[in-house]
């Protein structure tokens, strides 16, 4: 049964394309892996995406409901609709029209800082690898899969609290480090049940009703 979900994950078009881009990027990186610089850049790329995972989720994906219809439709596709339908496969993954431009921007910044195509490529490979790790952790949090490790089972539980208990806590999907540091990790028994966890678009209306 687990094989079924592994295939479902890797054969999803957006994931398959990102895997292909990673393999190409890492392929170009292989001849330079005897140097320390590319390894450092690769790790920095992973760390950068790990940080972006939290800040993007908290401050962009949970932004105040836009009044402009165009921006509202964008944020609905990126995240609001995922909260309304947490197990919808097509809403689990970040769309390529969002991921690829952001990777390109991050790569451009890395190039201007390093002035090295090798270092930039290593950074991008690290970013993409952690993006795929994030997508996998997010995927198994919403599919009927029991993670092998206690850590994986705990992270799945935490993410489901975010969806079904209160959307204002537990933004980390792969790890809770920044939740602890920035005060968005709480004992779920002490957190009130939110009436808008399944409808982010209505948060402002609920506040006005109070």
Chain centroid to CA 179: how far? Answer: 14
- pLDDT one-digit tens code per residue, 19-75: 999 999 999 999 999 999 999 999 999 999 999 999 999 999 999 999 999 999 999
- pLDDT one-digit tens code per residue, 101-111: 999 999 999 99
Closest by CA position to 18, among listed 143, 142, 133, 153: 133
pTM: 0.94
Q: Is 196 helix (H, G, I), strand (E, B) or coil?
A: coil
Tokens of 82: 């995922």
Phi, psi (deg, nearest 5) at residue 174: -95, -25
Signed CA dihedral, 9, 10, 13, 18: sign only: positive
């Amino acid at each position: 049964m687990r094989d079924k979900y592994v295939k479902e994950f890797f054969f999803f078009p957006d994931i398959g394309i990102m895997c292909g881009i990673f393999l190409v990027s890492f392929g170009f990186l292989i001849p330079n892996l005897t140097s320390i610089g590319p390894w450092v850049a690769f790790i920095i790329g992973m760390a950068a995406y790990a940080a972006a995972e939290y800040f993007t989720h908290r401050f962009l994906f949970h932004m105040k409901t836009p009044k402009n219809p165009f921006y509202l439709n964008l944020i609905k596709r990126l995240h609001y609709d995922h909260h309304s339908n947490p197990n919808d496969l097509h809403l689990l993954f970040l769309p390529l029209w969002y991921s690829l431009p952001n990777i390109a921007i991050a790569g451009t910044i890395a190039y201007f800082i390093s002035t090295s195509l090798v270092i930039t490529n290593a950074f991008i490979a690290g970013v993409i690898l952690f993006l795929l790790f994030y997508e996998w952790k997010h995927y198994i949090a919403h599919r009927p899969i029991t993670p092998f490790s206690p850590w994986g089972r705990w992270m799945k539980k935490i993410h489901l609290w975010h969806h079904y208990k209160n959307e204002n806590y537990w933004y980390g999907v792969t790890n809770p480090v920044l939740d602890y540091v920035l005060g968005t990790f709480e004992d779920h028994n002490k957190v009130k049940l939110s009436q808008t966890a399944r409808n982010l678009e209505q948060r402002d209306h609920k506040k006005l009703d109070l």
